[in-house]
Amino acid sequence: MKRIQYFFLIASLIVLVTASVMIGRASALPMAATGCFTDTNGHWAEQFICWMKINGISGGYPDGTYKPANNVTRAELSVMLQKQVQIPPETGDTLISVGPTGWMPIVEALGGNNYVLYSSNSSKMRTNVVGAKQFFATVNAPVAMYGRLTTFKGAKLCYTATSQAQLAVATVMTVSNENNGQGTPASSIVDNVVRQNEACNTYLISSPVNMSFGEHVAIVLTINFTDIAADFKVSSVTFIFGPSTTKTTTITAGIASPEEAQQPIMPLSDFPEWFGLDQGD
């Protein structure tokens, strides 16, 4: 009789331990998804299997099944590992905003005493000479993040323009250090629609390219002033960056050899004057 009692006691303990392990395992797992494969609904690894399908790592079999109990061959494992490496570590965009104090006037290009007044909610761009005047903003761009190059996608501009201070041209661009410190405008988008309204416009480059070492981004506004008492207001500009699959190159210590030194790609006199580059006397 005592043997039977001991048997039931031990069996009960085994059941309790097994149940606690299974409950702990289930509680540690996220909620299961549904519909990824016909034979994984309700499976304990369903959400992980679905994640692999969503991210292109494992597509299952042509008949719509995954066969989760099957063994994985070395060839299949090699394919999944290669696909996993190709997934960017981050898939969302990176947004960097510039506030009211981030704007500067360009006085070399179009002349006049251009200046920016700062308020708590906007930059007020002014001039003492009627005509087209230019202002710009830039940001310390993340050329690479998590070991991969980023792409520059564009910018969102929020402004208030009037008939006395019109937005004539908006240019969003990257600037490469290809002229020994002067900079060269690269990929860009130009909006030359004259605007006199209050709005937020998003300017997206049609073919974003990867940022390069030493490159930065900028937005240049050409404002047409018909009254020196008028002002053009900008509340914010947000630069938009996206992830890429291109890995960054290894940067080593030391000074580059002479053949790697950057040479001017064009005379300074040939640079577009409207970008406000100081060409000297």
101: closest CA among 275, 277, 219, 236? Answer: 236
Quote the number of domains for the chain.
Answer: 2
* DSSP code for 2: H
CATH of the domain at 112: 2.60.120
In a domain, 183, yes or no: yes
Stated pTM of the model: 0.61
Amino acid 110: pLDDT: 55
Residue 37 shares a structural domain with residue 118: no
Sign of the CA dihedral 15, 21, 27, 32?
Answer: negative
Q: Are residues 74 and 121 in the same domain?
A: no
Which pLDDT band holds residue 57 (cuts at 50, 70, 90)?
confident
One domain for residues 54 and 116:
no
Burial class (CB in 10 A: 0-12, 13-18, 19+), 103: buried
Q: Express each pLDDT in 190-215 by its tens digit.
A: 999 999 999 999 999 988 888 887 78
Is residue 254 one of the residues assigned to a domain? no
List the helix and strand counts (H, then E) for the chain: 3, 12
- Residue 148: per-residue pLDDT: 81
| Integer-rounded Cα radius of gyration of the chain | 30
- Contacts of residue 271, defined as CB under 8 A and 6 or more positions apart, other chains included, come to 182, 277, 279
69/110 same-domain check: no
DSSP 134-180: EEEEEE---SEETTEEEEEEEEEEEEE--SSEEEEEEEEEEEE--ST
Pair of tokens at residue 240? 């938009």
119 and 163 within one domain: yes
CA proximity to 121, closest of 230, 236, 221: 236
Most confident of 117-131, 160-174, 179-193, 212-226: 160-174
**231 within some domain:** yes
78 and 98 in a single domain? The answer is no
Residues 76 and 111 in one domain: no
Render 91-147 in DSSP notation, one character per residue.
-S-EEEEE-GGGEEEE-TTT-S--EEEE-SS-EEEE-SS-EEEEEEEEE---SEETT
Which tens digit of pLDDT belongs to each residue from 65-93?
898 888 888 888 888 888 776 665 566 78
- The parent domain of residue 48 ranges over 16-85
Q: Are residues 52 and 135 in the same domain?
A: no
